[in-house]
Amino acid sequence: MRLSPHRARRTSSTLLVLALTAGLAAFTPAATATDSTPAADAVRAPAVKPYMGWTSWSMQSSKYPGFNPDGDYSYLTEKNVLKQAAALAAKLKPYGYEYVNIDAGWWRDMDWKPRFDGYGRQAADPGRFPRGMKAVADDLHAEGLKAGIYLPVGLEKEAYGGGKVPLWNAEGCTTADIVHGDLRTTNGWDSAYKIDFSRPCAQKYIDSQARLFADWGYDFLKLDGVGPGSFKSGENYDNVADVAAWQKAIAATGRPIHLELSWSLDIGHAADWKRYSGGWRIDTDVECYCNTLVTWENSVEDRWDDTPAWTRHAGPGGWNDLDSLNVGNGEMDGLTRAERQSYATLWAIAKSPLYTGDDLTRLDSYGLSLLTNKEVIAVNQGGTPPARPLTPSDDQQVWAAKNPDGGFTVALFNLGEAPASVTADWSALGFSGKAKVRDLWNRENLGVYKDKVTQALPAHGSRLFTVTPQGPALTKTVYEAEAGTNTLAGNASVADCGACSGDRKVGNLYLGGRLTLNGVTVAKAGRYVVDISYVSGDARSVRISANGGGATGHKFSSTGDWGTVETVSVPLDLKAGANTVTFDSGDGYAPDIDRIDVPNLS
């Protein structure tokens, strides 16, 4: 949210032929130069699967007519929360939705003036929550639901009280004993003083807040404005110690409170977020803060660019949070039917938490069908890992994940502004021949497809399939980028790369830098779907061609850092015999190239 101020190694010279188990090469975790897995004894959040529920923020922050009649954020009241909870229990709880999360402002009045108890802890505003927060949690539990609450990170400035406010259950400690002497500020809005966890009273303050939430019966805490992230960096905005303190405090309560972090967290600290929390927001707010809840262009479409680098970090214990899934009412959401389905498809396959911010009392029939499709929910909640892109991040994309039963979950997306066909090639999944295809959104078997499936999609449209291979695994020939037989031009050069297949890669592909792989040999002429392994700390584009023919530009997603290898597939027309494949940076900056894998087609 946005808190208102008012408010295996190989030698590079050898061509290797790999016998691939179907999909194995394409669906192993991303290679990294170092293992950033936390210590085995680290206490983990109880997030076995992505959580599902509802959040108040989308409605309380929207300018949609009627939502906030008494001013900004005025929708947030006990009455409205319980009304949404009743609708959730009636319509969505049977499908797994269970959390009702109260977002920012529960301790602030309609003029955004805060309220605290005698120990510097946020206290319910009686105008918004007249019976207090425990009564609300009790009512939610009576519906068989779970209760969520919100805090910004740090000690809110208004809670400081000149440093004289005592801390609960911490004899001799006051608010002056938990912050830095210079009262440096922190969080995404600089609305709080940074807590100094080298001081013994600091942990006691967090302990007191966690104890209060546990006593009230809350099951979920969203900690917001966390850095590095929230568009802030530097020492004052490093809140890793805060997050660790919260994890410790929650564990001490004995209540399994899910800790979720927000917003737009720094991927460089992914190991910290994984160690101490059950989920982390990877991007900015999805809301448009306009007269609908969201718009496609505002930030929904950004998720296709920003999610891939994070994919390897998600799994049981912690999940990549893509923010609210607002697809329940087309007029209110500000999206077309095609956009709503694509939105829901990405959230499902990325294994994002599925929490909506819609008015659950006004779901339209299509929105309800999107939120309650059991086959799609099973993709999100089951044992399938998060999907990743098989293709570059161009307008037409294919994402996939290998299922525990050996099949695949495959999504096709047309992110362009005009209708287009999108193709998923079986060779990119690691097999050839035939496969059975089932359409998950429409709950129907489409039959058997040979070599690929192609669908005509509307602008911003999508399809979601399960693909069950019937054909054999493919073998592929590896061509290393750094091989001495290749040609480098411009600034292109060979560099060490511990995560790369031959421990080396070709980089410095910028402003005319070019790599040509020579001697790429195939038995017969045809279109080949070639796997490209690359490294790129940010999203970059490159032009790819074969045999000096016309080049096609592709955008490659960030791999999150310069020590991680990811793989995407592109189609190339090759001739029988030896070919050249060229990567040209043109007048920009291209990703570093590790290798290519070319299918052996008979």
Mean pLDDT of 102-114: 99
pTM metric for this prediction: 0.94
320-331 per-residue burial string, b: 16 or more CB within 10 A, e: under 16:
bbbbbbbbbbbe
Domain termination residue (choose one: 427, 445, 469): 469
Q: What domain range is 421 assigned to?
A: 389-469
DSSP string, 201-260: HHHHHHHHHHHHHHHHT--EEEEES-SSBTTB-SGGG--HHHHHHHHHHHHHHTS--EEE
Residues 191 and 141 in one domain: yes
Flag whether pLDDT at 12 surpasses 80.
Answer: no
Whole-angstrom distance, CA of residue 499 vs CA of residue 592? 12
Residues 456 and 592 in one domain: no
For residue 528, give the CATH number of its domain: 2.60.120.260
- Under DSSP, the state recorded for 557 is P
Mind listing the pLDDT tens digit for each residue in 209-223?
999 999 999 999 999
Residues 147 and 41 in one domain: yes
pLDDT band at 379 (very low <50, low <70, confident <90, very high): very high
Whole-angstrom distance, CA of residue 440 vs CA of residue 409? 10
For residue 117, give the CATH number of its domain: 3.20.20.70
Residues 124 and 226 in one domain: yes
Residues 373 and 282 in one domain: yes
Structural tokens at position 343 = 């939105």
What is each CA distance from 283 to 30, 299, 302, 464, in whole angstroms?
Answer: 21, 9, 8, 24
Residues 297 and 422 in one domain: no
Mean pLDDT of 418-424: 99
Mind listing the pLDDT tens digit for each residue in 339-378?
999 999 999 999 999 999 999 999 999 999 999 999 999 9
pLDDT band at 1 (very low <50, low <70, confident <90, very high): low
Residues 289 and 430 in one domain: no
Please indicate whether residue 151 or residue 10 has the higher confidence score (pLDDT).
Answer: 151
Whole-angstrom distance, CA of residue 488 vs CA of residue 498? 21
Q: Tell me, what's the pLDDT at 415?
A: 99
Q: Is residue 5 part of a domain?
A: no
Flag whether pLDDT at 26 surpasses 50.
Answer: no
Residues 48 and 154 in one domain: yes
What are the φ and ψ backbone dihedral angles of 490, each rounded to 5 degrees?
65, -135
For 3: left if phi > 0, alpha if psi spans -120 to 50, otherwise beta; the answer is beta
Domain termination residue (choose one: 386, 420, 450): 386
pLDDT band at 30 (very low <50, low <70, confident <90, very high): low
Q: Tell me, what's the pLDDT at 31?
A: 57
For residue 452, give the CATH number of its domain: 2.60.40.1180
Mean pLDDT of 385-389: 98
Residues 500 and 595 in one domain: yes
Q: Is residue 237 part of a domain?
A: yes
Contact call for residues 430 and 25 (beta carbons, < 8 A): yes
What are the φ and ψ backbone dihedral angles of 378, each rounded to 5 degrees?
-65, -35
Flag whether pLDDT at 36 surpasses 80.
Answer: no
Residues 45 and 153 in one domain: yes
Residues 96 and 190 in one domain: yes
Mind listing the pLDDT tens digit for each residue in 452-484?
999 999 999 999 999 999 999 999 999 999 999
Contact call for residues 563 and 34 (beta carbons, < 8 A): yes
| Residues near 405 by beta carbon (within 8 Å), at least 6 away in sequence | none
Contact call for residues 178 and 195 (beta carbons, < 8 A): yes
Q: Tell me, what's the pLDDT at 28?
A: 46
Q: Is residue 21 part of a domain?
A: no
Q: Tell me, what's the pLDDT at 124?
A: 99
Flag whether pLDDT at 19 surpasses 70.
Answer: no
Residues 437 and 566 in one domain: no
Q: Tell me, what's the pLDDT at 2?
A: 47
Q: Tell me, what's the pLDDT at 306?
A: 97
pLDDT band at 24 (very low <50, low <70, confident <90, very high): very low
Distance of CA 511 to the CA centre of its chain: 32
Mean pLDDT of 63-82: 97
Flag whether pLDDT at 102 surpasses 50.
Answer: yes
Domain count, the chain: 3
Q: Report long-range pairs for 39-43 (Cβ below 8 Å, ≥24 apart).
A: 39/275, 42/275, 42/276, 43/247, 43/248, 43/251
